[in-house]
Chains A and B, each alone.
Chain A
């Protein structure tokens, strides 16, 4: 009798203890099994550049969500996200980066700042925190020299490669580089650091091939270009390269129509070659050509998979589903592919089915080799150029396609076009070396990397 009283009075205590033990065990297990790969989304969904930011991050998140839904992530490690609005403002970008860098079981995997200014602002912070920066088609061009910038990857192509590829495209159209002699080319550029990036490369190209280059600046934001087009009318150039941003692009297209300059002879940079640039210009955009390191359209297996697994389940990022397949959206899908492939490669080396740290992912990015066969498996053949990153070369490709706006959509005109690799690479190395000297950085010896 006594024992039973004791037993009864002790039972709740024992039960509580047992429950606590189970709870502890469960939480411990949950901690060990948090198979998540955290991706910070430092982007912009409001403000003047929201079209670019929402499209890009929409595409990236949708692609990674598709992997989560279809394959359960990468070898069972699912991607998780957190958004932080930067408004394209450097100080806000730094705050977002600082806030998100330690989240998730292994911290931020990598960061896509999607702003040249923010890329610069975290350029020296990220290596200290061991977070790789991927700046696809923007940011610091000379970071393509991986010996000086181990943590920064301006993947696929840089402004300098693109300027050079544009000249190669013109030469191809004209029937050879020797035909460039005596031609007149105008660079109509956004008067900012971004717009001045291509000057040196184009001037070198002009010297070598003997064409006349005129640089014409447009002040931000660029909604008034009367004087510039007056000047273009006087010069009567053979080609106009449009290095614009935001409202400057449709304005230039409309002004070209008014001036009677053929749109087929206007070539845009990839930040001037999205639907958001051409649709506001209406008819005036018809025939306009722009470079791009990804193509538009939904007719690729990878996009169809996203529509099936993500939008089919009502989990898509884009409120306006018609933007799936637009230039910015597809660029985000390219970013997603690169992110996932880098994580996959890192897992093969450091442990399959484990969340990777930023340091391990950096190892993966530096060894990315996405060839055409792999692109085909991913359902992205022709969607983005093949990519091979090395310790030396953090650009990895340099290829761009040229697309024409037919009034309704972008039509691919060319295959992947090469830049003048030697010219660009020499410039990159010279600039990176100057930076290394200023900062007292010793060049990394790439033969010792494994």
Chain B
């Protein structure tokens, strides 16, 4: 019996090339997307940790001025600690923002570090391109891969540094993987030069910074060591630790993996629904043949096997192609990603995740096919041979039960009939419509909310204002705070002024090493600038403070708790009166009132002024006017939210969101197209009858439109409110890491509801196209 089953299955495959192509391609797309996503998630930690261990990388980098910290004492102390495996000799370093390639200034702080003799085993550097030397030669520089990629720098190119006369050139000798600064997302980054190179371009009197690398037994040793280091050495300088390097690397990696997984799951659902509907469609059209097979002795199991084998054969062909495709895609994605991040190699096993994923998908395909094919096994041979189609009593009952059948147009009536006829596919279509509408509306409104940052900066933790003034107290004819405020208040075009200054404090919390934090000290109630709190109130009294959400979470402090800080050289206990969100400092910071700071420093005065103009006043002209009026006593700037770099980030974010929405619209397009084709195939008999009774193709198209646009209506009805309701929650979770817990969503009514006719139009066009294709 095996041979007839195989032969029938093979014939089935050849008989329905379009449908099988659809099933095969759906499975292939799902498999191609799923395997890399699983591979990436399974191996997400591994490349970084492997690379870090293999390169013997320091878990802790300390950057300090050798005049502040006695490096010999520090090294001696470190060498006596149990957690420490090895310590690097201090490497002279110089931070510059002046590095230029061709005429372009590199928009990054580059730590130029001298690669010292004897430091080659610890913190190894892998050369991706370049010669075999252990160190750069004089006049040469080794740069990380991401820097080379970002500025299209090749081996042999020259990077220039200004010296006040002739710029000093450094020739790129190697493009390397730096175990710490391996991501382009990190600023600063590091480049290596030979020992003694720094005085070629920087006066020796500017060269006091050194970098020490410390390799520990495990990354978990960092915190206890760091705390003791503060206590016993009173270390003062910058430090970079393992968790920072890893999180910078991982954040990009994780986001990419999750996005791929989401797409993969969606593709898989679509593929399974395609299999299910296609299988049902095939069984329906093979109904009479099934009767014949049964009458010649095929058991129900044999019949089910034929259909399962048909799908399995298609699946195997698809998965074979997908396996190769997945492998290629994983290689491509990981290589491009890892190259971007500057990693040396791909120590991720692809085969295992691919095999597991394909096996999983195969099992799922078998399950879905079996579920869809069961009907074929249950088919009665007599009935199949007699009527050629299953009894459709229930559906007809539903169709006849419609109470308004006599009042609605015949096309709408028949469209509804067709809709009910393929009710399982309708569920699938409705789900696709809902998902696409959800993502589209989500993208529109999230993008819109981001673009409104300049209109509603306070929602993002930024002061509401049109112009930012910074007072310069260090000139001969300076304006003091009161004088400047007085003059600003007398300007007729100014609505409101909020003045503040930045203040640095060190948080002293049990169980945490002392950490410097920048906060703002407001002269007026922050509410004047539209600022609000997530919980609690703004600080008013000298002993009150509000914390940004990230700081509050890091130190596990809530409203009513107290926090100890070293501020203005004095240890002070503040009571937390509020928790707020602020995007400007990645969720870290604090707010104080001038009262609090004046109690610590009576000479404190604000230097920054956020100016709100009256409605209708031209911001650009007002900015020029204020600059002219106050000349060198102030610097007049755009507010943070209006600055080009912020707007650039917002534009990129919107592009990303719209790309995501486009993907879902594409999926929707394919789904409608497939469904329409399948429906038309199922309805061949009815269409023939309709043609015979004089129906024109336009009438059939209208009927199809009624059938297809009903799920659209449902999808839109569910998708839009769902997106509006869930959007802020989803975004709040995604942006909590950057200090925004309550995502300030603003609904763009025109675009949101403007999509409705657009979506209907899309549904109509696809229906028309598939109908045309069918004909």
Tell whether A and B belong to one assembly: no
Q: Which residues of A contact B (CB under 8 A)?
A: none
